[in-house]
Amino acid sequence: MSFVPYSKRKYEPLGPKSKKLIERIDRHSATNYSPYPFVVESTDGAYLIDPDGNKALDFLSAYSAVLKHRHPGVIEAVKKEMESGSDLVSRAIYSSRFADFVEIVHEITGYERVLPKSDGGSATDSAISGLLMHGGAKGIKNPEVILTKDYFHGRTWIFSSNATFDPDQVGRRVPRAPGVVVVDDTVEAIANAINENTVGVFIEPHKGEGGPLFSNKEYFLGIRKLTREKGIFFGADEIQTGLGRCGYYMAWQEYGEEARPDFVTLGKALGGGIIPVSAVVGTDEFMRIYTPGCDGSTFGGYPQACAAAVASLKYIRDEGICDIAKDLGDYFVKSLSGIDNIHVENRGLLIRVEIKNADSAKPACLEMLLGEGRNPRVFMKHGHTNEETRTAYTRIAPPPGAMTKALIDEAVEKTIAPVLRQASE
Ligand SMILES: Cc1ncc(COP(=O)(O)O)c(C=O)c1O
């Protein structure tokens, strides 16, 4: 039988229960996502399980938020807090768990102060407001923050109004948020954009959604040096790259202590995949701008969020998740090397796969997840395509705490490598 390219195949839900659930969801859900037709009924370690009994290895980890599905330590900590501690209390008073939270964030990051939020977008928003408030405090009437093209910092108005990498969004963007300037992602372009109104530069150490695309030491230290010389702040969005994913607590640490930004944003894995927890974390000088009333949120730093974050951070620290991510990420890339037309690169367990001569990585991703008889099934999500070079990207980001070399071997030998071999047209 001749080979039918994946792009010409039709992928259906794997069973009748999944099909029915998808119909129910599609009838009433907003259409802001375009999900693959796989329904999750439960999760376990590295696996997603559907209501028809099919399993798939989760190599997206909820965009890096999951260290290990249904992490027992985090669940236990949250349960304990729910049963014997408190429920929701506001930051208008103090809470015990908040003490544990700020101390461990300080210990892990080396920064002096923590502003807790819930989702990543609200933390990055707070970071930008903080920067702009510094401008106001300095007497700058129209302060500006520099972001770089192809960034992803969440989907709040500030950031979605400037989303630059998603061609589908062109023409649907809302008006640009004032005070935000977007430039090419080079030290030179950033240097050229700095003027008397500039208060800071905010970047991702490695681009997650816009890639993954990896930075290098010269670039990162270049921005650090430049911002120091100009007396402006430098912030890094570690929401996707931080907390072990790239082999460090914060990805910038790869470049040494001299690279330390003035502040970072953390999220995703901070809540262990159980509770949304995010934060702006920075030096005393940067963080002192947040005076009472200028920022805050009902769920930011509430006891259960703090319990989840403390358990996640202890797990990352005590289990050596950074070293695990480095070791397994390098192993993964080695196992995938040598396939014609495929280039693979990584920082820890954030892995970029380039497929040459392909219009999209989506058909290959669908085949890995839903292809007939595939075992093990593997879930990774397609990224962007460079239309000029016909290179399509996908990202592999497995849950570091649930990965083993045996699982990688099985996934690569039986599913990923055979599909990638056929993915280039
Ligand atoms: C680098 C980065 N910043 C911010 C966000 C936004 O986080 P959230 O989706 O929790 O709002 C994301 C989410 O993917 C991200 O990757």
Q: Is 237 labeled as catalytic in the residue annotation?
A: yes
pLDDT at residue number 171 = 60
- Domain 6-69+321-423 sits in CATH at 3.90.1150.10
Which of 239, 274, 381 is the best mutation target for the ligand 1 pocket, counting ligand atoms within 8 Å of the beta carbon and taking the most? 239
Mean pLDDT of 339-353: 97
Closest atom, ligand 1, to C-alpha of 207: 1
- DSSP H/E element including 263: strand 263-266
**124-135, pLDDT tens digit by residue?**
999 999 999 999
Q: Is the pLDDT of residue 162 over 70?
A: no
The pLDDT assigned to 57 comes to 98
| Run of H or E including 233 | strand 233-237
State the average pLDDT over residues 265-278.
97
**Residue 414 annotated among the catalytic residues of the structure:** no
Kindly indicate the confidence band of residue 336, based on its pLDDT and cuts at 50, 70 and 90. Answer: very high
Average pLDDT over the chain, rounded to an integer: 95
Residue (of 416, 405, 411, 238) closest to 327 by Cα position: 405
Q: Considering only residues 1 and 66, tell me which one the structure prediction assigns the higher pLDDT.
A: 66
Q: What is the CATH number that goes with domain 72-318?
A: 3.40.640.10
pLDDT for the residue numbered 301: 97
What's the rounded mean pLDDT across residues 224-234? 98
Cβ–Cβ under 8 Å, residues 262 and 281: no
Residue 150: pLDDT band with limits 50, 70, 90 = confident
Count of CB atoms within 10 A of residue 398's CB?
A: 30
CATH 3.40.640.10 spans which residues of the chain? 72-318
pLDDT above 90: percentage of residues in the chain: 89
Question: By the 8 A CB rule, do 302 and 128 touch?
Answer: no
Query: pLDDT confidence of 104, banded at 50, 70, 90?
Result: very high
Which residues does 9 contact at the CB level (< 8 Å), separation at least 6? 363, 366, 367, 371
Ligand 1 first shell, C-beta below 6 A: 63, 119-121, 124, 152-154, 204, 208-209, 237, 239-240, 267
Where, residue-wise, is CATH 3.90.1150.10 in the chain?
Answer: 6-69+321-423
**What pLDDT does 173 receive?**
67
